[in-house]
Amino acid sequence: MISVEHVYKSVTDSSGTLHILRDIDFTVPQQQTLAIVGASGSGKSTLLSIIAGLDKPTRGTVWLAGQDLFSLDEDDRAQLRAQQIGFVFQSFQLLGNLTALENVMLPLELSGRSDARAAATEMLSRVGLGERLRHYPKVLSGGEQQRVALARAFVTQPAVLLADEPTGSLDFATGEKVMALMFDLNRELGTTLVLVTHDPAIAQRCERRILIEAGQVAG
């Protein structure tokens, strides 16, 4: 499903060149759950952004569902993301002027789905928020906001889910509940999951783990 081929990422400014990623090379089969682990600043979030096609590598490429991401222009990459990828972020990334229902409907509406309201309502009910459809993010708890984000990520039934520190803004107990829900939905829908985390307990839930140290695969 995903093939990361000899990816390097460097940035240069007046102070010199910083090498963020160096020769990252691995594949992720369909429906596998993979944790990318490492200390803060190790390059793992940059790697996830490159896998998503949101950031470009200095060298190397990423294949997603048989397509070379960086042979596409930005518009085509955005279209492929909309078709194939769901995202869950540490900071939820909900639109504050939209209700929970409208946040989950948005990706469906952008793809032209005529059943956006019904599908979004069903998915919010599945994550336990059937009574919170018309609430705005500011009146939802952190755990509720992350469940809205999960519903939005899964409602399009993406082939790939990319999650960047999805419990980083939550307390331990709430984070545990959110992670259990995410893995349950992932198994149910047969999604390929790539998860960035610094939490060993979360990483252990995945079938496979890759350790990034100083921009390189260390194990």
Q: Which residue's structure tokens are 């609430």?
A: 135
Report how far apart, in Å, the C-alpha atoms of 190 and of each of 31, 32, 33, 69, 79 are: 6, 9, 10, 22, 21
- At 168 the pLDDT is 85
Residues 178, 156: contact at Cβ < 8 Å? no
Beta-carbon neighbour count of residue 63 at 10 Å? 16
pLDDT in tens, 152-175: 999 999 999 999 998 888 888 888
Res. 199: pLDDT tops 90: no
pLDDT in tens, 27-78: 999 999 999 999 888 899 999 999 999 999 999 999 999 999 999 999 999 9
pLDDT in tens, 78-124: 999 988 999 988 888 999 999 999 999 999 998 888 999 999 999 99
Distance CA 120, CA 135 (A): 14
Concatenating the DSSP letter of every residue in 44-111 gives HHHHHHHHTTSS--SEEEEEETTEEGGGS-HHHHHHHHHHHEEEEETT----TTS-HHHHHHHHHHHT
Res. 219: pLDDT tops 80: no
Distance CA 41, CA 43 (A): 6
Res. 149: pLDDT tops 80: yes
β-strands 160-164, 192-197 pairing: parallel
- At 107 the pLDDT is 92
Distance CA 107, CA 119 (A): 11
Instruction: Find all residues with CB under 8 Å of 111, minimum gap 6, and list them.
Output: 82, 83, 156
The pLDDT of 122-147, averaged and rounded, is 94
pLDDT in tens, 4-19: 999 999 999 888 999 9
Beta-carbon neighbour count of residue 180 at 10 Å? 11
Q: Which residues sit opposite 59 in a β-bridge?
A: 8
- At 195 the pLDDT is 95
Distance CA 200, CA 37 (A): 8
